[in-house]
Structure 1
Amino acid sequence: MLPSRATTLSYLTILSGSAGRLVISLVYFLIVANTLTLGEFGLFATASSTGLILSRLLAFGFVSPLYRVATVKPRLLGAYLAGFAGLSLASLPLIAAISAGAYWLLFAERLAALPFALIIVAEVLCWRPVEVVAIVNNGLRRFRQAALLVIIGSSLRTLAALLFIAFGHRSLEIWAGAYLAATFLSLVVALAAFLPPARWRFVRALYPRRMADAVFAGAADIVFYVQSELDKLLVLGLAGERTAGLYAIALRVIDLTAMPVRSFNQMLVQKIMQDRGLGGGRRLAAFEIGIALVSTAGLVAVIIALKPFPGLLGRNVSEAAYLFAPMLLVPAFRNLVEYHAELLYARERTGSRIVLLCLLTALKAGLISLVMTRFAAGEAWASWMNLVFGLVYLVSASFTYRLLARGGYKQR
């Protein structure tokens, strides 16, 4: 069955935001990746990944109930926004403690404490609330506002990168400060212009009922991002800053090609939550094929563009460009694993999602550690990443579809 006109327009609205963000993020990425040294970019990317993981601890995962309420019971939005704000403050000591542990374990001998702290603050206290405002707008089906907010946030980071070049002080420490300033300004814009109007009120009876969902969904989100970002941290620890920089550039290009898929995932999750069903197995198989083709085509387009113009994306990116072809299947496998996690989230299979993501995290950690310890010296590790992500995908698909088939595709 073809999607309705309203659904198509909603998807195109989200996709337009993703396309705008793609262009702006590409400019931002190229500036930063080619201005910092490969080692500095590797440190920035891994510190940012650490902040991305830690940001999922904000409010102990209360973003999930907030999104569900915005989607199905928007009249309660003010009460849940108040709960999110209070829980965010309560979660800060835990985030600070884990940040200190992560710094001591991975960064203490590689990066000064101040730039690391600035990057963490930017990701946790500034960018995560911006994402939450966008998530709430999407839940309310205000897709245009959410798309515009994301574009503005990406534009401010790009502006900070341009100023970073213009002033000529091209150290990681200076960039961390500029990154925080741009992200903080994004937060101000989000709260002032994009936060939906609602009467905030603290309704104590609401929160105990939702905290279990919040904690489980937050834990699943954390494990998902650990699974997603762990490879960057492992490459830094096992192969050093330069290889981490090359890998981070390759993964960033791959990640940019995933934006159309994430727009589709977002629409699919809302559809499942509202209709309480998934559709048949043939439809799910068609979704998988489509995601794989779109993901691979994005990276192929980048490879083709670089053939006649190897320096098109800048000096440092051109140094990492030899990784793109050997890692050709990685985008499809990464995006399909993300798609499986979204299916389980939409069906409220939070416990199963956590189990799956823990399994995938352990599998990926073991496989990447094996690859990087055996093949890092000769840089033959890139082609082996297809096998790593392929095995992770097979485990994810097997677990997800067996679980959904056992519960019935159309049952709650």
Structure 2
Amino acid sequence: MCSVPPNSVVDTPFLEFPITTCPTHERFVTRRPGNLQAILSRPSMDAISSPSSPELSNSSPPPPTAAAASLASQRQYESDRKRRYRAEQRIHRRALKAEVDVLEHQLKWLQERQAWRMQATRLFRGMCTSMDLNRDLRGQICRHRDLVRVLSRWVQASIHPRPLAMRRCTPWLDSTLLADPVARQYGLRWLTDRVYHSAMVAHGALSSSNVDDIATVEIHTDGTDDLGAIESHFQSTVLANNGAIADCMWSLFTERRRSTVHTIEILVNDGHLLYLRVYDSLHDTMSCILLRRYDLPTRVVFARLFLRTDECFPLQPNEVRPHAFGWTIMERITDDVTLYSSRLMQFAPVTTDGELSVERIAAVFGVAEPTRLARPTILAQIQTNALRNLVNQRRQTDLLLHERLHERRLVRADDETPLGDRSKAS
């Protein structure tokens, strides 16, 4: 085997071994298989890289470039800057914490110093609230005391018997409707309740199996041939539901019908309570009519009252005000059959000079020359004319009622008709 001289480079096509690197700079050294002794006899890397070797004296690493030096300097500057920033933030945090401690201590001292003022303010506000509530309660007590006093006087005046020979069993009819708004609301309902209970008592006492048509007028006297009251009673059977009849009758009362005789002014209308003033130009009378509706399981009741005195509308000179009370009961017999019953008790109309005389009442009912007739004759003619007026009035009312019922049936039939059938009918 031939040995390879040291420090010689032989260019042979043999396979090269891996590359080794010089400790100081990168250098490629080519190794090829050969004698182990030749390999071991080669000089070490330190000898090769020593400056004494003339071949390697000029192969030292190049100095660093300017770009690398600038990058290192910038990195060092950023590191120092962030270190100083963190140190400044730590100092600032300690200063803020110390300032917070000082402010909290100062706030606590101020709160302790102002505690009495806050307590006094809170107590003062509570005292003001209590005084306002106390004042409101005292005012409410005064209003209730005045209301009770007014209602007490009103009830005492209502139950006091009339200074007449004929003492009616219903002294509340002479009650005055007060002008006080609260007492007025109580009065409206109290008066209609009295009429309603009277209707229930009378209906229970007079109820029977008689369903015949009735139209009667009765004259009540006090035993001295003076006119005490005129009582009218009407009864008929209507082939309709009692609720539908009640709705139609209520609409007749509540709507403003155009009439050349009557002028209507509705004062209260809350659905079941109606208070209105009606001027009758034919008889020159001004009526204050109070009407209330009561819906019961088997009947509907209308309580009606012609007020005699109203503080909001006092009697004027030459004014004639009718005075009466009555009720209308629509009793259910079947779903489509109703017994219609109505009663009205009319007393002598009143004026600023008192009640009308029998002669003037006779003139209102169309009695000719009542001053020349005897009292029994006058009363008999009043009864006859009142019955005729009742029949005529009921005929007109029944006509209007049947028209309303017919309109309701048409509307209901139109609502129940399918759309296809409507188009065919049209």
- Which of structures 1 and 2 has the larger relative contact order (alpha carbons within 8 angstroms, sep 6+)? 1
Greater share of helix: 1
What is the TM-score when the length of structure 2 is the normalising length? 0.22
Query: TM-score, length-normalised on structure 1?
Result: 0.23
